[in-house]
A and B are shown apart, each in its own frame.
Chain A
């Protein structure tokens, strides 16, 4: 997946970088399956398809003038250095986390034990997402709706009347 991500960033041509991104997305979907999250695998796969459609929509026949100007080298070194610092700090911080296989399950233990009785839905993930934390699902619907109205607002022809 990391390899696909680096490829997506480095490839010169636009369309193939979008395809490399979808490869990274599919890798993520597989990772969800391995990590026992089938619910997410389906959603990730489908959302990723839509993402790729929209991205390809944007890049059908567009050029990619990749010109390197003077300070190019300095910029890359500066960004790489800052990323290295970020990685160093994250390494230090990650040591503190509880180790990989044993998540301390303070709250979700109750979800598992009482999930079936309280909500009656065997698929705990939907139970948590819709019933226990239903308020988030409401916010989720609002997010989709803002994206819809936002695209409509951005895509209209004349914005301000008098100037055009």
Chain B
């Protein structure tokens, strides 16, 4: 299965090629879109393959697993690969026309390709240190992308993000160093193998805390969420769509899931810690989001509360809850990036981001209006759309697992989400049209196609539960449920 390697080599190759061929005008867009289309196709193929024969292993360089690095793709990583490459492909189509406003487009495409390579690398790597290096590639390109529009606000937000991100990476590195000294192997399955026979001792608790702090900061859980609103509101909107839709999920939640559930093994108090931080970020994110009048900042805060949902679902830990969490993860990636792209479209045509000043754009910007209506409805959980199903599953699972109080809080929060999305819809799209905006015209074709496709997936997401997609989602959730069973699967596949 050497196709796994193409997930990182193709984006890196495109990034290098884009730097070389930077003189020609349209070449960087073409290369970027082509390679992300190829990656999307590849991720669909791998999803199909993992469904047929479970865990897929690739020994890089032909070395036996514990010596060399192995790439591991199972249900969970295939599921995430599809989500990431789908959103990245659509964001790139959107960026063709949006990035006309920025100078040096080839730099944007090169950095974007590096971020994509980093994300794919994190997902398919089966080796702790390798995961850290690819996580670092994705973060460094994210720092530079946030500072892409070189204005004072962007620079300050990017600096805040860089410092917090660098501290988080150093914590993760310290955790890996401690794990290496304890088990002296880096292959995740091998580490799980060594840890399974050793009793719980203060060192493992200390490593848990380090990893929780590091990945929590990358996933913007509540105590560490300070950088997210600034970074997402000042980044160019294709970047902030990628950031909140995909990057916090892969670097934060996926790595957290992989390490906690599969390598270190999960204990009751860890689950309760996850649940507590999930609830906390849900509540804080929602209430802060109401107070905002800048569209992107409000969306950033609502990302924090939606991430809280997913962490809460993982904290509950029952099979149904994890299924709901993963489904919500996919949904949130789709409609949050759609909302950010809509905000970018509004800003592109009117140049204004403050909700109070806008009004009645619906007749002037029909496509953006309807797509953001669908996304807003789906995120706040209106029955027919995808968001409703995932939140329903999480709440039902919480009730089943006996956390009635938390379930009520979750329901309240989803109502609060509905409130501030209705406020966003009504302020921006309905109401009277300001005189100054009557001459704006619809966003160019490239942006419109991306918005429409995302909206269709948003509506169609509901099918994920029934029909063909169900086993696909099941595959992902029982990888987590198997917990440290991960090592038998991987070691079995190697021999």
A residues contacting B by CB (< 8 A) are: 89-90, 92-98, 103-108, 110-111, 131-136, 138-140, 142-143, 145-147, 149-154, 156-163
B133, A136: Cβ atoms under 8 Å? yes
Given contacts A103-B181, A158-B150, 16 further A-B contacts (CB under 8 A): A98-B182, A110-B66, A134-B60, A142-B137, A145-B16, A146-B111, A146-B141, A149-B110, A150-B144, A153-B147, A156-B103, A156-B107, A159-B102, A159-B151, A160-B150, A162-B351
Closest residue on chain A to residue B103 by CB atoms:
A158
A105-B184, A107-B66, A154-B147 as given contacts; A136 in contact with B107, CB under 8 Å: no
Residues of A within 8 A of B145 (CB): 153
Residues of B within 8 A of A158 (CB): 103, 150
Task: A8 to B386: give the CA distance in the assembly, Å.
Answer: 54
B136 on the interface (CB 8 Å rule)? yes
Residues of B within 8 A of A95 (CB): 202
Residues 283-312 of B, flagged 1 when their CB comes within 8 A of A and 0 if not, give 000000000000000000000000000000
Question: Which residue of the partner chain, among A103, A134, A160, contacts B149 with CB atoms under 8 Å?
Answer: A160
Residues of B within 8 A of A131 (CB): 61
Residues of A within 8 A of B149 (CB): 159-160
Question: Which residue of the partner chain, among B102, B133, B184, B186, contacts A161 with CB atoms under 8 Å?
Answer: B102
Within the complex, the shortest CB–CB distance from A106 to chain B, in Å, comes to 5
Task: A121 to B227: give the CA distance in the assembly, Å.
Answer: 46
A97-B181, A132-B63 as given contacts; A160 in contact with B134, CB under 8 Å: no
A97, B182: Cβ atoms under 8 Å? yes
Closest residue on chain B to residue A143 by CB atoms:
B137
Residue of B136, B155, B207 contacting most chain A CB atoms (<10 Å)? B136
Question: Which residue of the partner chain, among A97, A106, A162, contacts B203 with CB atoms under 8 Å?
Answer: A97
B185, A106: Cβ atoms under 8 Å? yes
Closest residue on chain B to residue A130 by CB atoms:
B61
B446 on the interface (CB 8 Å rule)? no
A146, B137: Cβ atoms under 8 Å? yes
B181, A138: Cβ atoms under 8 Å? no
B351, A150: Cβ atoms under 8 Å? no
Question: Which residue of the partner chain, among B103, B108, B141, B186, contacts A107 with CB atoms under 8 Å?
Answer: B186
Residues of A within 8 A of B206 (CB): 89-90, 92-93
A132-B67, A143-B140, A162-B351 as given contacts; A107 in contact with B111, CB under 8 Å: no
A160, B101: Cβ atoms under 8 Å? yes
B15 on the interface (CB 8 Å rule)? yes
Residues of A within 8 A of B183 (CB): 106
In this complex, the interface size class of chain B, counting residues with CB under 8 Å from chain A, is 35 or more
Residue of A98, A106, A131, A154 contacting most chain B CB atoms (<10 Å)? A154
B318 on the interface (CB 8 Å rule)? no
Question: Which residue of the partner chain, among A132, A136, A159, A161, contacts B130 with CB atoms under 8 Å?
Answer: A136
B140, A146: Cβ atoms under 8 Å? yes
B117 on the interface (CB 8 Å rule)? yes
Task: A111 to B68: give the CA distance in the assembly, Å.
Answer: 10
B12, A138: Cβ atoms under 8 Å? yes
A145, B69: Cβ atoms under 8 Å? no
Question: Which residue of the partner chain, among A103, A133, A159, contacts B68 with CB atoms under 8 Å?
Answer: A133
Residues of A within 8 A of B101 (CB): 160-162
11 contacts between A and B (CB under 8 A): A106-B183, A106-B185, A132-B67, A136-B130, A138-B8, A143-B133, A146-B111, A146-B137, A150-B140, A159-B150, A163-B151
A154, B203: Cβ atoms under 8 Å? no
Task: A111 to B64: give the CA distance in the assembly, Å.
Answer: 11
Question: Which residue of the partner chain, among A133, A150, A154, contacts B150 with CB atoms under 8 Å?
Answer: A154
Within the complex, the shortest CB–CB distance from B73 to chain A, in Å, comes to 15
Residues of B within 8 A of A146 (CB): 111, 114, 137, 140-141, 144
B102, A110: Cβ atoms under 8 Å? no
| Interface of chain B residues 120 through 147 with chain A (CB within 8 A) | 121, 129-130, 133-134, 136-137, 140-141, 143-145, 147
Closest residue on chain B to residue A108 by CB atoms:
B184
A136-B130, A143-B136, A161-B101 as given contacts; A93 in contact with B178, CB under 8 Å: yes
A149, B181: Cβ atoms under 8 Å? no
B67, A139: Cβ atoms under 8 Å? no
Within the complex, the shortest CB–CB distance from B387 to chain A, in Å, comes to 33
Residues of B within 8 A of A135 (CB): 60-61, 69, 130
Residues of A within 8 A of B201 (CB): 96
B40 on the interface (CB 8 Å rule)? no
A106-B66, A135-B69, A147-B140 as given contacts; A159 in contact with B114, CB under 8 Å: no
Residues 93-117 of B, flagged 1 when their CB comes within 8 A of A and 0 if not, give 0000000011110011011001001
B449 on the interface (CB 8 Å rule)? no
**Closest 9 A-B residue pairs measured CB to CB?**
A150-B144, A159-B150, A93-B206, A96-B203, A159-B149, A160-B149, A139-B133, A92-B202, A93-B203
A96-B182, A97-B203, A152-B107 as given contacts; A107 in contact with B151, CB under 8 Å: no
Residues 28-66 of B, flagged 1 when their CB comes within 8 A of A and 0 if not, give 000000000000000000000000000000001101001
Residues 66-84 of B, flagged 1 when their CB comes within 8 A of A and 0 if not, give 1111000000000000000
Task: A12 to B108: give the CA distance in the assembly, Å.
Answer: 39
A98, B63: Cβ atoms under 8 Å? no
Closest residue on chain A to residue B187 by CB atoms:
A107
A153, B133: Cβ atoms under 8 Å? no
